[in-house]
Chains A and B, each alone.
Chain A
């Protein structure tokens, strides 16, 4: 009898939920290593507010993309088309603007329309044609990149000074882009946690069949998640256009935004199988990524060694959660 009582799980309020706290633990470790690296190498000049903002500001584009990617991964899908969509957006937006401040709004509208269209195509191919999301979005990505490089092969268009506020502007001493990123994360997390759509996302990702039997329009949820993801990618593209002051057809592929955004989401504790995770995990994942870069810079790690370590760190970070799982993974 007492054995049974002992085996009963403790009340949830007091149980330490490892998977909920793991991203925070990883972030803590990264911050600790960063502090230690700065102190050991005597580069304490990096330990100030401005540098903290610089560390954060370096990964806005990745962060915005990853917020969108979180939605699709939560519905057990994946989006590999974000990188080429980012490239396409920077070119489209800066070509439409072409240095003219009056064209900023039309350019933003056209970019978002492109994003919504690509997202809808992705979602419909996956839900209607039953194509594996990896293949569907990879195919769409090839199509976008092909169309793009058929027209543009160099910097295209120009971004007016007014629009550069997005990347370079400050509000109350804090870069606008960082405020925007946290605002977007806040909105996304409210949508996921407090709306019916949000709980549908978790339901569809957890068990699509059960969700369908419960009356959730699973196909529509997947399509909407893909539209959100593509819209986030276009916003990231707009940010990069504003930062580069021009459109570059290679920027998405160069930044490896497709695979890195997936890595960030997974490091943030969202599982690839869907249904578990959240926005704040992704935000933490982005911070960990930029901290790793900063640590390498402080320690003066060789660029190639940096790449080797990055690969190992991605795997190690994911293993940090996954190793406790009892399931068979493939």
Chain B
């Protein structure tokens, strides 16, 4: 009798397979669609170039998700990318030996930008949307000031190595772009930091309920500043990669902040904080790139890409909200 009651009280639905984030299915479906359209994609040159193109966005989005999970936004990353590309070309002054300290200087700038973003949000209490918007405008201004409006010079090959170079003659996969290695290493590091350390747990906590986190002893300000720093540093790395294959201009980073947020949202991150995953965000970035690639193969023009991106963005969030409501979470 007791047994019966107990078993009746159990949830009716048996626990099935662990829930898999739908972004992975979407990514798989898109890759199948790309292969059907362009069989050359299964060749290493096909998918490796795809991964190489996706790497900057993936890294950027993996950093952005830190800020999103902590409950904020980072709109300054796009213009930080621009500043990195323009600044590197100005600083390195066509000198291939300068690459080392130029990259260090750029990481320093990224660190400073992240810290300022974090301090403004934490201590001036400016909502991150406005704080990073201001930073975005300011950094764009700096990029223009630095280059005098028209960036000159180019990036030395030693700098472009990271974004451009492919390591050839590797068994099985034949080629391995350096950008893909950077993506894999940083992606893993960010995954580990977010999902395997106390910092990651604290970031989730302050995004979910900052007051509760504070009462539980989380150093809210320090954690939030760290999240902004991670996002800015990932933007610097994305900028270094983009400088490698996109060249120098004052609009390389334009629109990347929104693409990064889109990627995080596709990966199931919850805006205003508390939920989000680095691997799913990277899958979201790959999905977004795959969508653009597919639209390119289909010969659809840029406007259609915009429309599709908009519809997917809305559909992804609507679906996530629907699932969340249905499962009662």
Question: What is the interface of chain A, defined by CB distance below 8 A to chain B?
Answer: 125, 129-132, 134-136, 138-143, 145-150, 259, 262-263, 266, 272-273, 302-312, 314-315, 318-319, 322-325, 327-330
- Known contacts A272-B127, A330-B71; is A135 also within 8 Å of B311 by CB? no
Give the A-B contact count at a CB cut-off of 8 A: 166
Given contacts A318-B134, A329-B121, 17 further A-B contacts (CB under 8 A): A130-B322, A131-B318, A142-B307, A143-B310, A146-B305, A259-B133, A262-B133, A305-B141, A308-B138, A308-B141, A311-B139, A314-B134, A315-B134, A327-B125, A330-B70, A330-B72, A330-B121
* Choice from A135, A149, A318 contacting B302 with Cβ under 8 Å: A149
- Known contacts A140-B314, A304-B144, A315-B134; is A322 also within 8 Å of B306 by CB? no
Name which residue of chain A comes closest to B310, CB basis: A142
Stretch at the interface among B14-22, B51-59, B207-215: B207-215
**Bound state CA distance, A315 and B138, in angstroms?**
10
**Bound state CA distance, A138 and B305, in angstroms?**
14
Asked whether B238 is an interface residue with its Cβ less than 8 Å from the other chain, the reply is no
Which residues of chain B are within 8 angstroms of A306 by Cβ–Cβ distance?
141
**Bound state CA distance, A263 and B312, in angstroms?**
27
Which residues of chain A are within 8 angstroms of B71 by Cβ–Cβ distance?
330
**Bound state CA distance, A130 and B210, in angstroms?**
23
**Bound state CA distance, A129 and B325, in angstroms?**
11
- Known contacts A311-B141, A329-B127, A330-B121; is A135 also within 8 Å of B136 by CB? no
Q: Which 10 A-B pairs have the closest CB atoms?
A: A142-B310, A311-B138, A307-B141, A146-B306, A330-B71, A311-B137, A308-B141, A146-B307, A315-B134, A319-B124
Which residues of chain B are within 8 angstroms of A143 by Cβ–Cβ distance?
306-307, 310-311
**Bound state CA distance, A176 and B310, in angstroms?**
37
Chain B residues numbered 102-137 whose CB sits less than 8 Å from any CB in chain A: 120-121, 123-131, 133-137
Whether the pair A311, B317 counts as a contact (CB closer than 8 A) is: no
- Known contacts A132-B272, A323-B125, A325-B125; is A150 also within 8 Å of B304 by CB? yes
Whether the pair A135, B265 counts as a contact (CB closer than 8 A) is: yes
**Bound state CA distance, A286 and B102, in angstroms?**
41
Asked whether B303 is an interface residue with its Cβ less than 8 Å from the other chain, the reply is yes
Name which residue of chain A comes closest to B79, CB basis: A311
Which residues of chain A are within 8 angstroms of B134 by Cβ–Cβ distance?
311-312, 314-315, 318
Which residues of chain B are within 8 angstroms of A272 by Cβ–Cβ distance?
127, 129-130
* Choice from B70, B127, B309, B318 contacting A130 with Cβ under 8 Å: B318
Whether the pair B314, A330 counts as a contact (CB closer than 8 A) is: no
Which residues of chain B are within 8 angstroms of A308 by Cβ–Cβ distance?
137-138, 141-142, 145
Which residues of chain A are within 8 angstroms of B135 by Cβ–Cβ distance?
311, 315
Whether the pair A315, B120 counts as a contact (CB closer than 8 A) is: yes
- Known contacts A304-B145, A328-B220; is A141 also within 8 Å of B271 by CB? no
Which residues of chain B are within 8 angstroms of A149 by Cβ–Cβ distance?
302-303, 306
Which residues of chain A are within 8 angstroms of B73 by Cβ–Cβ distance?
134
Name which residue of chain B comes closest to A308, CB basis: B141
**Bound state CA distance, A226 and B218, in angstroms?**
38
* Choice from A130, A132, A134, A319 contacting B120 with Cβ under 8 Å: A319
* Least Cβ–Cβ distance between A87 and chain B, in angstroms: 13
* Choice from B123, B130, B145, B301 contacting A305 with Cβ under 8 Å: B145
**Bound state CA distance, A251 and B49, in angstroms?**
36
Asked whether B149 is an interface residue with its Cβ less than 8 Å from the other chain, the reply is yes
Which residues of chain B are within 8 angstroms of A318 by Cβ–Cβ distance?
126-127, 130-131, 134
Asked whether B273 is an interface residue with its Cβ less than 8 Å from the other chain, the reply is yes
**Bound state CA distance, A302 and B120, in angstroms?**
26
Whether the pair B210, A328 counts as a contact (CB closer than 8 A) is: yes
* Choice from A134, A259, A315 contacting B271 with Cβ under 8 Å: A134
Name which residue of chain B comes closest to A259, CB basis: B133
* Choice from B125, B137, B149, B301 contacting A322 with Cβ under 8 Å: B125
- Known contacts A146-B305, A328-B210; is A139 also within 8 Å of B310 by CB? yes
- Known contacts A135-B317, A328-B220; is A312 also within 8 Å of B138 by CB? yes
* Choice from B123, B141, B224, B305 contacting A330 with Cβ under 8 Å: B224
23 contacts between A and B (CB under 8 A): A125-B314, A135-B261, A135-B313, A139-B313, A141-B310, A143-B307, A143-B311, A146-B307, A150-B303, A263-B130, A266-B130, A304-B142, A307-B137, A307-B141, A307-B144, A310-B141, A311-B141, A312-B138, A314-B133, A314-B134, A318-B130, A330-B224, A330-B273
